[in-house]
Amino acid sequence: MTGSVAESSVADRIVITGWSALTPFGHGRAAFADGVLRGEPAKAVPTKDDWARADARVVPDFDIVEQLGRKGTSSMDRASALAIATLRDLARETDIDARTGVVLGTTSGSNRTQFEFTRDSLTRRRPYFVNPAQMPFALMNSAAAQCAMWHGLTGPNSTVAAGRTSGPAVLRYASRLLRTGRASGVFAGAVEEHSGARELLEPGGTLGEASVLLFMQTPDNGNRPALAEVVALDTRVGEPRSALAGCLEHVLSGLAVDEVWGLALTAEDPELSEVEREATGELLNRQVTTVVRPGHLVGDTGAASGVLGVAALLAAAAADVRARDRLAVVTSVDRDGTAGAVVLRLTGSPQELRGEG
């Protein structure tokens, strides 16, 4: 599970030209950016889920029917709805053609839908007396498939199940689609819904939810300014701190460490946060001027945490003129020993990063 992205020509380069997010800070890019710059944790919002704790950080004011209408949403899971709404916001500023694709990261799909479908198969009068309309939304690839159907995306459609290291895994997958000419542009991101079912699987810590999407292209296909360029990425498996340290050594090889302006440490869990701190401290301890910790602000967003780290750095760079043409690093680590790191070069001006250019 190792690999890197080396830039040698315009055709090889991969850039990010837009992004949007739904987070506990609110709807859209501006809401998340404002929350990152304030640096104060998002407020807990009461949910209708009887299984869920009251301190969960969820996307506020998000009702599936109000957001997407009644048609096709009666059995829709929250993760799919969050992804559809996020892509809708980003698509308004993006040129979509027949070769535009979508790649979404996940942990395992909608835990709540999976639990409910399984429960019904055991408690209803006969095992086959379940709601058949619910079945598609119990599948891991529901969110990506629904995004394509709702928005008419006919390019590649993929789901990457890599848990908290979905960020670098999704960026790698999307980059390969673009480099091989399989897609003209890719909506690349991840989604994680909050539910009581997820709390049963993820005990401890403060859980959050988020949906975040980047639009990725090669420079020759884009007509919008590049906000950032993907310079290198790597994923590894092993003892968490050693695996992450190995990723960082690999992605920073050949780069000037003093060029690194920003660092996103994406873990919310205290133990994983300490792993990130130790691994990055060995290489970047005194070099980084800006450190963002989105997990501490919006809770543990699972598969969405890595891409949310990219978005947090883009938001922070919009408020700091020193960031332009500098490097930014995003780290991801999971309890199972998977780790990843992404290096970006921040190419957009503050106005472009704020969506004003």
Identify the CATH assignment for 229-348 out of 3.90.550.10, 3.40.47.10, 3.40.50.800, 3.10.450.50. Answer: 3.40.47.10
Over residues 38-68, the pLDDT tens digits come to 999 999 877 766 566 666 799 999 999 999 9
* Intrachain domains 15-221 and 229-348 with the same fold: yes
Share of the chain above pLDDT 70, in %: 90
Region of poorest pLDDT, from 56-60, 126-130, 267-271, 272-276: 126-130
Tokens encoding 237: 């498996």
C-alpha 337/C-alpha 178 separation (Å) is: 29
- Rounded to two decimals, the pTM is 0.93
Over residues 82-125, the pLDDT tens digits come to 999 999 999 999 989 999 999 999 988 777 777 777 777 777 77
Amino acid letter, residue 150? W
C-alpha 87/C-alpha 255 separation (Å) is: 33
Which DSSP category does 296 fall into? Answer: H
Q: Say what the pLDDT of residue 29 is.
A: 96
Tokens encoding 91: 């698509």
Whole-number Cα distances in Å, 107 to 37, 140, 306:
28, 8, 12
Q: Where are the domains of the chain?
A: 15-221, 229-348
Burial of 138 (0-12, 13-18, 19+ CB in 10 A): buried
CB 58 within 8 A of CB 48: no
Residues pairing with 21 in the sheet: 212
Tokens encoding 81: 């709805």
- Other Cβ atoms less than 10 A from the Cβ of 313: the count is 28
Residues pairing with 161 in the sheet: 106
Q: Say what the pLDDT of residue 255 is.
A: 94
C-alpha 293/C-alpha 296 separation (Å) is: 6
Identify the CATH assignment for 15-221 out of 2.60.120.260, 3.40.50.300, 1.10.3430.10, 3.40.47.10. Answer: 3.40.47.10
